[in-house]
Amino acid sequence: MATLAAGVGIAGTWWAIHPPQQIPAQSAAAPFTPAWTAQRDRDARAQVAGRRAAARSGATALSAAAHRVLEGSRGQVVDEQVRVDLAAAVAHLRQSVAGGGPDDWSFWSSSVVVAVKQVVSSKEAWQQAEAERVAAEQAAAERAAAEQAAAEQAAAARAAEQAAAERGSGKAPRSADRPSAGAEAPPAAPARPVEQAPSTERFIRPGRVSWDSGSPGTVTVSVTTGGVTGPVVVTIAGSSITVGVGSGTFSGTLTGLPAGSHTWTASVDGLVATSTATVP
């Protein structure tokens, strides 16, 4: 590319395009004639046209090559300004090729060559920085993996030591150390008692009878009732006491009773139940 630009620069100079004409020496036998002069002028114009065409072709090729460099460096330069400068130089070179002269071609060709070198240098710096970044990330990932593996090995060693210590002391291994097919189920919540609808049954039932041999004439009786609201009365050998009111289980003690076996009654709200009691 630089060689191409140099060629364009050389071809773009005035003397490269308009060299001093070498006029053939005339002999006495071949004096200047109109035909000779016309041929000389045609040859000179042809040489100039050829050099201009070569310079134009070189500038066009340089513009295309610079454009490829510009596209190939997209997002891959350290300083984006160098791409902006190259794009501007390429645009001016194309304009000069379309309507300018050799001097313009030479100037903008040189500008494009300088801008291309700057883009290439910036891209090389970016590639170097990118390679260093990738290497640093890879090294960091390898260090993290090594640290993770070391931590897992240390945890496994501690768990093995703990299990060995617990086995030596006769303790069962902790649940965290025991292999299991799955997580243990949480303890079941206590069942809520089923609320019973209030009973409409009315009843009275005599309960147990107890006495103390050290207290003659004294007994203690119990009564269970349901569906009632009145006082619960117990009567033994003509003696009566109220042991409770309404529904529930009640007990009461009667004293001063005659010794022997007696029939006793419990009554509430018109209900009556009987049983026997032995008074010491």
137/153 Cα distance (integer angstroms): 24
40 forms beta bridges with none
Domain range summary for the chain, segments of one domain joined by +: 1-21+32-170, 203-279
Average pLDDT, stretch 53-77?
84
**Highest mean predicted confidence (pLDDT) among 7-16, 48-57, 115-124:** 115-124
Spatial strand order in the sheet of 271-279: 239-245, 231-236, 260-268, 271-279
Q: Is the pTM of this model over 0.75?
A: no
35-45 confidence digits (pLDDT tens): 888 888 888 88
Q: At what angle do helices 102-169 and 34-72 cross, to 10 degrees?
A: 20
190-242 confidence digits (pLDDT tens): 555 545 555 578 999 998 988 887 888 898 999 999 999 999 999 998 899 99
Instruction: Report the candidate in 47, 45, 97 with the shortest Cα–Cα distance to residue 67.
Output: 97
180/172 Cα distance (integer angstroms): 14
| Phi–psi pair at 253, nearest 5 degrees | -115, 130
What pLDDT is attached to residue 190? Answer: 56
130-161 confidence digits (pLDDT tens): 899 899 988 998 899 898 889 988 988 888 88
What pLDDT is attached to residue 92? Answer: 83
**Assigned CATH topology for domain 203-279:** Immunoglobulin-like (2.60.40)
